[in-house]
Amino acid sequence: MNNGKKTKIVCTIGPATETVEKLTDLVEAGMNVMRLNFSHGNFEEHQGRVDNLRKVMTKTGKTVAIMQDLGGPKIRIGDFENG
């Protein structure tokens, strides 16, 4: 990814943008980081997105980084039964 640019174009990929065709459009438009939000979806869905991106990288000859946004600790407040 060392193309001299310091600015990255990060796109969050989900159901509306996970196809090879949509990913190709995004890469051709300048996307160089694919962000996956692991607070939503499951492993199989995200693996499919990574597989599609790899197809796009092979087809276009461009390298795209993959950023995994993992859900951090959450404070959940509520009532407990018999609490």
What's the pLDDT score for residue 21? Answer: 99
For residue 41, tell me if it sits in a domain. yes
> Cα–Cα distance between 36 and 11 in angstroms, integer?
9
pLDDT averages per 10-residue partition of the chain, 83 residues: 78 98 98 95 95 98 96 78 72
* Residue range of the domain that includes 43: 31-70
For residue 52, tell me if it sits in a domain. yes
Q: Residue 51 is encoded by which pair of tokens? A: 């597989």
For residue 82, tell me if it sits in a domain. no
> Cα–Cα distance between 62 and 76 in angstroms, integer?
42
For residue 13, tell me if it sits in a domain. no
What's the pLDDT score for residue 72? Answer: 82
For residue 54, tell me if it sits in a domain. yes
What's the pLDDT score for residue 3? Answer: 63
